[in-house]
Amino acid sequence: MTSFITKIASSRGKLLIMTTREYILRDARRFYERLDALDERMHFVLALEDYTRRDRAKILYNHLWHSASSQAGLSEIARGGYKRIVDHPNFSPRLIEYCTSQAFDTRSPGYVARFVRALDHPERVWRHAFEHQLNLEQRLLAVTMVTLPSEVAHEDLRKAQEALCDRHSVRYSTWAFRAALDVMEGSFLSLDNFDGTIFVGFHNPSIREFVLDWLVGDGHLLSDVLESALFIDQIYLLHAYATVRAGDDGPNEALRAALDERSHLVARALERLIMSPALGMHRFLIYGVDEGWLESRLCEALRLPDHYLPPGDWFQDQVCIVAARWQKGVGGRSDAVSLMKALRRRGVGRRAPAMRDDLVESASVALDEWLEADLPLDVVWFDAVWLPYLDNLWDQYGLAMRDNQGLRQRFEACIRDGIDGNDDFHPDTMLEIVEYTERLGLTDLREDLRQIQQNTWGLVEEPRRRSAKRSAGRDDDLEMEDAELDGLFWRLRAEPRTRQYLPEP
């Protein structure tokens, strides 16, 4: 095949165009070295977001031209109805194909309104496609995806999918996984390449909502999901969807009730996964990164209902582990401070797991010593080192921090070093610096920072005005495009229509 491609490429009178999914080509290159030798100039990637408004209009026009839609419906489209479809945020070639096919009502009056409703509520389309057009392995892939973040690395998704299939007694293969992605891309899932890693997400947020509801209706499958989870994030995300649902629908009460019935499975999963590899961690291991993943996980565990946590001294054992990490200078400072705040507030609001006071005090001392050690004089490290240190002190002492003259002097020396070095303060960092300047009562330093803020604001004002002018220019282009597209869709009113492929406007 590679020889054939090379031969065609060297011919003057021949042109070969081959299409495939980006991740399939990437996988093929792993197994066939000669594919890597192909000239990269032959490789083009077309993503959905690359489609211009004109491209979307042509996709819609072609499907309508070859459809069996009624002439009345086509006239609705031609009289400007196409704009509501082409400019819809849920525009997808797969949805356009469905709404112009025989499976959709293309004959009754109100075609445009019906079309737009399908785009507004694609979950109605998802149910039919999900249950009748996807096989079991593909449906399980969607279920796996619903337990993972909005964008997840291809390899993490594959591993989690394999674990669920094995638990659900479904035969799994890498080929079937790639085939499922191929079928579902552009309709249920979207794929994106970032820095050589393929990321997978739902094509539309409403698909996640639909799959969650579908999962809740199958208690056996939900149990398998909890027992097969490879990443602790899967457990935390399911609880998040049960308590704080995206959109206007509020929490998913049915999912919450289903998880409550399986609280023992949640507890068992936490105990099994608390030390498991993090999502995407395989990309960072070569750099020796060890941030606050454990502290962050324990903070998330404290947000769960008590009956979701493993019994006995499990949580106390985890605190002993993180305290030992802090004594060695290992962990994420900000996440460690967040965990310590939660432990200090046990008994305030929803009660945290029972903790021995001496254990909390021991962990607090370890954290204090770690955060205070080797505080830099460079403001570049403010967010990473200084801010967690100050947040921890504020949580313990509040305004009494002003009595610590050594702290006041070191803080002011750090910030003035940045000012004298003309460091570029990030706006968010500046807000944090100003807040602690006021808390520590450093009036003169606060006035100097106020002057820097005013100077910075003056620098960003002019680019904002230029940006507004560019936006106005794009609106003008949009109006010109409307006139062109009006001429294109006007052809749909012709009767009878000649069956041909997209005539040039």
pTM of the model: 0.69
Average pLDDT over residues 310-334: 91
Confidence (pLDDT) at 311: 85
Q: Indicate if 153 and 31 belong to the same structural domain.
A: no
Average pLDDT over residues 213-223: 94
Query: DSSP state, 32?
Result: -
358 vs 141 pLDDT, higher one: 141
DSSP-derived 3-state class of residue 305? coil
86 vs 38 pLDDT, higher one: 86
Q: Which segment of 128-137, 225-234, 330-339 scores lowest on mean pLDDT?
A: 128-137
Give yes or no for residue 128 having a pLDDT over 60.
yes
Average pLDDT over residues 16-30: 64
Under the banding of pLDDT at 50, 70 and 90, the label for residue 347 is very low
Residue pair 454/47 in contact (Cβ under 8 Å)? The answer is: no
Confidence (pLDDT) at 24: 58
Give yes or no for residue 493 having a pLDDT over 70.
yes
Confidence (pLDDT) at 283: 42
Q: Indicate if 154 and 37 belong to the same structural domain.
A: no
Cα gap 119→355, rounded to integer Å = 51
Q: Does residue 74 belong to any structural domain of this protein?
A: no
Q: Which token pair is 183? A: 């079928």
Q: Does residue 313 belong to any structural domain of this protein?
A: no
395 vs 44 pLDDT, higher one: 395
Confidence (pLDDT) at 285: 38
Confidence (pLDDT) at 186: 76
Q: Does residue 333 belong to any structural domain of this protein?
A: no
Q: Indicate if 41 and 137 belong to the same structural domain.
A: no
Under the banding of pLDDT at 50, 70 and 90, the label for residue 354 is low
Q: Indicate if 152 and 258 belong to the same structural domain.
A: yes
Q: Does residue 146 belong to any structural domain of this protein?
A: yes
Q: Indicate if 33 and 158 belong to the same structural domain.
A: no
SS3 of the chain: helix, strand, coil, percent, to 5 = 65, 5, 30
Per-chain mean pLDDT for the chain: 81
Average pLDDT over residues 313-323: 91
Residues 6+ apart with CB under 8 A from 115: 81, 84, 85, 99
Burial class (CB in 10 A: 0-12, 13-18, 19+), 17: exposed
Give yes or no for residue 284 having a pLDDT over 80.
no
Q: Indicate if 134 and 279 belong to the same structural domain.
A: yes
Total tally of structural domains belonging to the chain: 2
What percentage of the chain carries pLDDT values higher than 70? 80
282 vs 429 pLDDT, higher one: 429
24 vs 441 pLDDT, higher one: 441
Q: Does residue 409 belong to any structural domain of this protein?
A: no
Give yes or no for residue 89 having a pLDDT over 60.
yes
Q: Please choose, from the candidates 274, 287, 272, the residue with its C-alpha nearest in 3D space to the C-alpha of residue 321.
A: 274
Cα gap 411→432, rounded to integer Å = 12
Give yes or no for residue 50 having a pLDDT over 90.
no
Give yes or no for residue 225 having a pLDDT over 60.
yes
Under the banding of pLDDT at 50, 70 and 90, the label for residue 121 is confident
Residues 6+ apart with CB under 8 A from 374: none
Q: Indicate if 147 and 273 belong to the same structural domain.
A: yes
The domain of 9 spans 2-45
Residues 6+ apart with CB under 8 A from 212: 146, 241, 252, 255
Confidence (pLDDT) at 442: 93
Cα gap 99→114, rounded to integer Å = 9
Q: Indicate if 32 and 178 belong to the same structural domain.
A: no
Under the banding of pLDDT at 50, 70 and 90, the label for residue 111 is very high
Q: Please choose, from the candidates 399, 378, 292, the residue with its C-alpha nearest in 3D space to the C-alpha of residue 339.
A: 292
What is the residue type of 480? M
Last residue of a domain, one of 245, 272, 289: 289
Under the banding of pLDDT at 50, 70 and 90, the label for residue 371 is very high
48 vs 224 pLDDT, higher one: 224
Q: Which segment of 11-20, 40-49, 108-117, 347-356 scores lowest on mean pLDDT?
A: 347-356
Cα gap 464→428, rounded to integer Å = 19
CATH classification of the domain holding 134:
1.10.10
Q: Indicate if 164 and 277 belong to the same structural domain.
A: yes
Confidence (pLDDT) at 206: 75
Confidence (pLDDT) at 297: 92
Q: Express each pLDDT in 425-451 by its tens digit.
A: 777 788 889 999 999 999 999 988 888
Give yes or no for residue 131 having a pLDDT over 50.
yes
Give yes or no for residue 32 having a pLDDT over 70.
no
Q: Does residue 505 belong to any structural domain of this protein?
A: no
Q: Print burial letters for 180-204: b (CB count within 10 Å at least 16), e (below 16).
A: bbbbbbbbbbbbeeeeeebbbbbbb
Give yes or no for residue 134 having a pLDDT over 80.
yes
Q: Does residue 459 belong to any structural domain of this protein?
A: no
Q: Does residue 316 belong to any structural domain of this protein?
A: no
Residue pair 417/378 in contact (Cβ under 8 Å)? The answer is: yes
Q: Which segment of 104-108, 275-279, 495-499 scores lowest on mean pLDDT?
A: 495-499
Q: Express each pLDDT in 148-203 by its tens digit.
A: 998 899 999 999 999 999 999 999 999 999 989 988 887 788 888 887 888 999 88
Confidence (pLDDT) at 502: 46
Average pLDDT over residues 31-50: 62
Identify the residue whose tokens are 């990321």.
Answer: 199
Q: Which segment of 136-145, 430-439, 474-483 scores lowest on mean pLDDT?
A: 474-483
Confidence (pLDDT) at 83: 93
Q: Which segment of 63-67, 114-118, 341-345 scores lowest on mean pLDDT?
A: 341-345
Confidence (pLDDT) at 397: 92
Residues 6+ apart with CB under 8 A from 449: 415, 419, 430, 433, 434, 437
48 vs 370 pLDDT, higher one: 370
Confidence (pLDDT) at 38: 60
Give yes or no for residue 469 having a pLDDT over 60.
no
